[in-house]
Chains A and B, each alone.
Chain A
Amino acid sequence: MLIELKDIRHIYQLDDPVVALDGVNLEIERGEFLGLIGHTGSGKSTLVQLLNGLLKPSEGQVFFEGRDINSQEVELKEIRRRVGLVFQYPEHQLFEETVARDIAFGPKNAGLSEEEIENRVREALELVGLDYESFKDRSPFNLSGGQQRRIAIAGVLALKPEVLILDEPMAGLDPAGRRKLLELLIHLHRELEITVILISHRMEEIARLADRVLVMDRGKIVLQGRPAEVFTERERLKEIDLDLPVVTDILKKLEEKGLKVRTDIFALEEARDEILSALEKQSQFRESRPC
């Protein structure tokens, strides 16, 4: 087990205290791609901040490779290097004069050699699809929003994390920028075998990418499983006002009208083939359009 959360409660002590997490147990395996969905205030961001020790739970324990990360003998610095967290709108945290120096900030603090730092910066920039030579000396503030976002992510990747957590990384990007970032996540997960935890409000993205989906509501994990299991729980999702992926919604509606289609499909091409073969099967029995 890579990460384990045990009996977590987390309360923000404000004028009137807010229970952000209420009885959360979770195990995450190395190499998983985990999707996290739920409304604002459901506890998603609190949960991920526990995973690298940015927050210490009010109750319960967080284990990384079997060690309680909040105990005396564990160095949080090590955990934060191995568990990278990309916040919402991470480009707001860019601050250095050049792209290279901004990305080097983490590796420098980790005490790496000059040469290693330069290698890391080069690699990280190339991973996010930006050319090292043409970007390294530019000011991060004169770049487009999409480029800034990728540089902020490169800053986390330069630490070579084993786990990468991203909180709404696609928000505000245009469709092309979103596609590029999705491809990057797929690459990091499949080729570099990084464990990825993705928070997103776009059900289509989660359904297509994640091995396992967690649904959060009012501080609890209320549903979890493979995308096919979670997104077939339409009634349960409706209760907490979450939508189905568009393709699933269409297949469900066709099923309700009597067309025999599978509803646990998320990719467009698969849905197309499923609909075509269902229509064909039905028309063998009747002359015209089936239902």
Chain B
Amino acid sequence: MSQIEMQGVEFSYRAQQDKALAGIDLKVEKGEFIAVIGANGSGKSTLAKMMNVLLVPDKGSVTINGLTTSDPDNIWQIRQQVGMVFQNPDNQLVATLVEDDVAFGPENLALPTEVIRQRVDQALKTVGMDGYQSHPPHKLSGGQKQRVAIAGILAMLPDCIVLDEPTAMLDPMGRKEVLETISRLNREENITVVLITHFMEEAGLADRVVIMQEGRIRKTGSPREIFRDTGLIAEAGLDVPEVVALANQLRQQGLSLPEVMTADELVDSLC
């Protein structure tokens, strides 16, 4: 059993409208890091919302650790297992202190105070925000706010985090902080990551990339496989990362180069 299983998933926001999802089959294994890319309106966010029951399919099925999202009795259990982070950090933090915000989820589980305390501190430590317990969230930078939002999910001890363009509103430093946090959670805590992004370089960090187009999955594969297919990338309204674009240009001029994803890999293969 895969952690997330989608079978023939279809969904429309309103009857008679184009389908936002038009038949999705996707399996995500425990501990995988998946990036989802695609043009605006291709169905990425709808796909993400299927993963923690913010939406349920019109047709087909979504199961999380074997629990179907279509059964209302499963909602709370699934939402503990799959947490979600959105684009705008300001819309996600609700409390006046960082620690209260992170404690919001576990408090709703009616856990004992000392367990909550321990989970909050541990979660903040994991995202590198230890020491900010009694800071007001509105005084934090964008990257710090997103990390607090991630800590709020970690305090629920989830199996999986789904992030919908978490770095779109951040500056370069904030982006780096959030991406490092996500990668570390995946690597060290074995948390499954589903990252939706318009930054092609971010997709390069994933184990597997999913390209969406018009409500369907066009292709899945390793970043190297995906970005090799420049025709498909252009068709889907996407780009290849700059490093890959430069490597492709050099190859077209007859240089033989291996597949590269990072600046260092390109430099090492050139000299």
The docked-state distance in angstroms from the alpha carbon of A73 to that of B247 is: 58
Residues in B neighbouring A174, C-beta threshold 8 A: 38-40, 198, 237-238
Q: Which residues in A have their C-beta under 8 angstroms from that of B266?
A: 250
Bound form: Cα–Cα A116–B146 in Å:
46
Q: How far is the CA of A243 from the CA of B175 in the complex (A)?
A: 12
Of B39, B239, B253, the contact of A276 (CB 8 Å cutoff) = B253
A-B contact count (CB 8 A): 99
CB distance from B184 to the nearest CB of A (A): 19
- Flag whether B113 is at the interface (Cβ < 8 A): no
Please report the C-alpha to C-alpha distance between residue A245 and residue B249 in the assembled complex, in whole angstroms.
17
Knowing A201-B172, A241-B172, A250-B246, the reply to whether A172 touches B253 (Cβ < 8 A) is no
- State whether the Cβ of A39 lies closer than 8 Å to any Cβ in chain B: yes
Is A127 among interface residues, defined by CB-CB distance under 8 A? no
Report the minimum CB–CB distance from B73 to chain A (whole Å): 35
**Residue from A175, A178, A201, A247 in contact with B246 in the complex, judged by beta carbons closer than 8 Å:** A247
- A272 CA to B250 CA in the complex, in Å? 6
CA distance A175 to B243 in the complex (A): 16
Query: Could you tell me the distance in whole angstroms from the C-beta of B127 to the nearest C-beta in chain A?
Result: 18
Known: A177-B40, A268-B242. A172 touches B270 (CB 8 A): no
Quote the shortest CB–CB distance from A42 to chain B (angstroms): 9
Is the C-beta of A106 less than 8 angstroms from some C-beta in chain B? no
Confirm or deny: B105 has a beta carbon within 8 angstroms of a beta carbon on chain A: no
A218 CB, nearest partner CB in chain B, Å? 13
Across the interface, name the chain A residue whose C-beta is closest to B237.
A176
- Chain B nearest Cβ from A177, distance in angstroms: 6
Write out, one digit per residue, whether chain A residues 41-65 have a CB within 8 A of any chain B CB (1) or not (0): 1000000000000000000000000
State whether the Cβ of B81 lies closer than 8 Å to any Cβ in chain A.
no
Contact at B270–A275, with CB atoms within 8 Å?
yes
Bound CA span A289–B198, Å: 36
Contact between chains at B271 and A289 (CB < 8 Å): yes
Q: Is B264 an interface residue (CB 8 A)?
A: yes
Q: Is A258 an interface residue (CB 8 A)?
A: yes
Query: B232 near A: Cβ within 8 Å?
Result: no
Known: A275-B270, A276-B255. A250 touches B239 (CB 8 A): no
Are A259 and B237 closer than 8 Å at their CB atoms?
Answer: no
* Interface pair B174/A40, CB less than 8 Å apart: yes
Residues of chain B contacted by A243 (CB below 8 angstroms):
172
In angstroms, Cα B200 to Cα A174, docked, is: 10
User: How far, in angstroms, from A269 to B271 measured CA to CA in the complex?
Assistant: 19
The answer to whether the Cβ of A24 comes within 8 Å of any Cβ in the partner chain is no
Q: Is A129 an interface position by the 8 A CB rule?
A: no
Contacts of A275 in B (CB 8 A): 250, 270
Taking a contact as CB atoms under 8 Å apart, the answer to whether B238 and A242 are in contact is no
Chain B residues within an 8 Å CB radius of A245: 242
Nearest chain B CB to A21 CB, angstrom units: 18
Do residues B165 and A172 form an inter-chain contact, with CB atoms below 8 A?
Answer: yes
Q: A171-B169, A176-B39 are in contact. Are A249 and B263 (CB under 8 A)?
A: yes
Query: When the two chains form the complex, which single residue of B38, B250, B271 contacts A257, counting CB atoms closer than 8 Å?
Result: B271
Q: Are B267 and A269 in contact (CB under 8 A)?
A: no
Could you say which of A40, A176, A203, A271 contacts B142, with CB atoms under 8 Å apart? A40
A272–B244 alpha-carbon span in the complex (Å):
12
Is there a chain B Cβ closer than 8 Å to A246's Cβ? yes
User: Is A184 part of the binding interface, using a Cβ–Cβ cutoff of 8 Å?
Assistant: no
Assuming A173-B40, A272-B253, is B141 touching A250 (CB within 8 A)? no
Q: Across the interface, do A250 and B253 meet the contact criterion of CB distance under 8 Å? A: no
Do A175 and B239 touch (CB < 8 A)? yes
Contact in complex: A268, B271 (CB < 8 Å): no
User: Once bound together, how far apart are the Cα atoms of A178 and B199, in whole Å?
Assistant: 11
Task: Decide yes or no whether A19 CB sits under 8 A from chain B.
Answer: no
Interface string of A254-286 (1 = CB under 8 A from B): 100111000000001101100110010000000
Q: Known contacts A176-B237, A253-B263: does B249 contact A201 (CB below 8 Å)?
A: no
The answer, among B41, B237, B249, B271, for a CB contact under 8 Å with A175, is B237
* A241 contact set on B, CB distance < 8 A: 172-173
Q: Is the CB of B94 closer than 8 A to any CB of chain A?
A: no
Pairs across A and B, CB under 8 Å, 14 listed: A41-B141, A145-B40, A172-B87, A173-B40, A174-B198, A174-B238, A175-B238, A177-B39, A178-B198, A201-B175, A246-B242, A246-B263, A253-B263, A272-B246
Which A residues are within 8 Å of any B CB, using their own CB? Answer: 39-41, 144-146, 171-179, 201, 203-204, 241-243, 245-247, 249-250, 253-254, 257-259, 268-269, 271-272, 275-276, 279, 289-291
Q: Which 7 A-B pairs have the closest CB atoms?
A: A291-B271, A176-B237, A246-B242, A175-B239, A272-B249, A253-B267, A40-B171
The chain B residues found within 8 Å of chain A, CB to CB, are 38-41, 87, 141-142, 165, 168-175, 198, 200-201, 237-239, 241-243, 245-246, 249-250, 253, 255, 263-264, 266-267, 270-271
4 further interface pairs, Cβ-Cβ under 8 Å (given A177-B39, A246-B241, A250-B243): A179-B239, A246-B242, A246-B243, A254-B267
